């Protein structure tokens, strides 16, 4: 082999693997490279980015007020004036979709964050402590998981909302504080709480399994022998090694939260009007789907695309963050 051919081969190795001539490999650079090669994950990531951007700025750039009604323009199809047409009350569907994106993003983000915090704390503590603590916490987790998730959320929303509203009405009568008259935020709080309640057990079991597995590794035994605290082991060894499966669970959970919120709103017990929700738009469009199918298809297809995008993103991140995979 000539010197020029040898040099070309060495350059190719340097470009492809980034591990030659003393260049230090980096976990996050390797993960980014593996992720970029997964076109489904990249597509899911782009869809989620567009979804979050629309949720953030959409209501500010919406062409119409999402509550503005004009019966004269009811049931119009897509046009230059109304990009996605109008609904049965003459409201602009595109503007309502943008506001619904914000509702979906809020539910997905806050529900997942609450579930993640509870799941990591409970699962980590259960796996580290073991014994009766582990049995008790996992018994609670099994009890919640044994109940049908959607039915449990429906039960919570239907049984708690009316007593809380009545309590606020009584407080308003006593204090005359207008804060107690606005209960629109109560829909969000109940949805966040109910979805987080059914979401944390799966994350807790995932973290517990990782703790039990990693506790037997030599580096954890060495750290414990050197006097490392359980908190240090949890933050330094357990959570980083559980990052891949945890990311998949979190991203799938966000997609599931969007679907569950839409299901609740479709049933009339989730985010209530005048707040906008894709689920409530789906229910409203259901009444006229045979004559005006776009009123039902637009929110239904959007919900499906967003959920699939979260699944693709989670799978891609799991593959990219797995340190056992070879680049």
Q: What are phi and psi of 89, to 5 degrees?
A: -105, 10
User: How high is the pLDDT of residue 13?
Assistant: 40
Is residue 69 within 8 A of residue 227, CB to CB? The reply is: no
Cα dihedral sign, 206-207-208-212: positive
Residue carrying the six token digits 């980096």: 26
Residue 114 maps to a domain: yes
Comparing 105-114, 290-299, 317-326, the range with the smallest average pLDDT is 317-326
Is residue 211 within 8 A of residue 130, CB to CB? The reply is: no
* Structure confidence by residue, pLDDT tens digits, 198-253: 888 988 888 888 888 877 778 778 887 888 777 777 777 777 777 777 887 888 88
Residue 250 maps to a domain: yes
First vs last C-alpha separation in the chain: 27
Residue 19 maps to a domain: no
The domain total for the chain is 1
178, with CB counted inside 10 A (0-12, 13-18, 19+), is exposed
Over range 157-170, report the average pLDDT.
83
User: How many residues would you count in the chain?
Assistant: 327
- Separation between Cα atoms, residue 266 and residue 264, nearest integer Å: 5
CATH code of the domain covering residue 67: 1.10.3720.10
Comparing 2-6, 195-199, 204-208, 265-269, the range with the smallest average pLDDT is 2-6
Residue 304 maps to a domain: yes
Residue 10 maps to a domain: no
Residue 25 maps to a domain: no
Q: What percent of the chain has pLDDT over 90?
A: 10
Q: What is the pTM of this model?
A: 0.77
Residue 33 maps to a domain: no
What domain range is 231 assigned to?
42-321
Q: Take residue 60 and report the two structure tokens written for it.
A: 């500010």
Neighbours of 25 (CB within 10 A): 10
Residue 16 maps to a domain: no
């Amino acid at each position: 082999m000539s010197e020029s051919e040898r040099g070309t081969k060495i350059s190719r190795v340097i470009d492809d693997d980034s591990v030659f001539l003393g260049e230090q490999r980096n976990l996050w650079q390797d993960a980014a490279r593996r992720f970029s090669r997964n076109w489904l994950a990249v597509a899911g990531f782009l869809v989620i980015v567009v979804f979050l951007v629309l949720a953030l700025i959409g209501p500010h750039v919406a062409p119409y007020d999402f509550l503005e009604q004009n019966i004269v323009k009811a049931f119009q199809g897509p046009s230059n004036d109304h990009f996605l047409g109008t609904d049965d009350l003459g409201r602009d569907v595109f503007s309502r979709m943008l506001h619904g994106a914000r509702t979906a993003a809020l539910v997905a983000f806050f529900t997942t964050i609450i579930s993640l915090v509870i799941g990591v704390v409970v699962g980590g503590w259960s796996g580290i402590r073991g014994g009766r603590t582990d049995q008790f916490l996992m018994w609670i987790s099994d009890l919640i998981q044994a109940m049908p998730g959607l039915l449990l959320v429906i039960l919570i929303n239907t049984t708690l909302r009316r007593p809380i509203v009545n309590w606020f009405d009584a407080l308003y009568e006593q204090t005359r504080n207008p804060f107690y008259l606005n209960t629109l935020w109560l829909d969000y709080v109940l949805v966040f709480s109910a979805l987080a309640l059914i979401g944390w057990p799966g994350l807790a079991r995932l973290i517990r399994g990782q703790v039990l597995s990693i506790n037997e590794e030599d580096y954890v035994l060495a750290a414990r022998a050197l006097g490392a605290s359980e908190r240090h082991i949890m933050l330094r060894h357990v959570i980083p090694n559980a990052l891949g499966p945890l990311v998949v669970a979190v991203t799938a959970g966000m997609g599931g939260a969007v679907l569950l919120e839409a299901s609740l709103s479709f049933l009339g017990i989730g985010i209530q009007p005048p707040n906008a929700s894709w689920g409530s738009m789906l229910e409203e469009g259901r009444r006229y789907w045979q004559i005006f199918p776009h009123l039902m298809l637009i929110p239904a297809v959007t919900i499906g695309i967003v959920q699939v995008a979260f699944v693709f993103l989670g799978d891609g991140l799991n593959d990219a963050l797995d340190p056992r995979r070879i680049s």
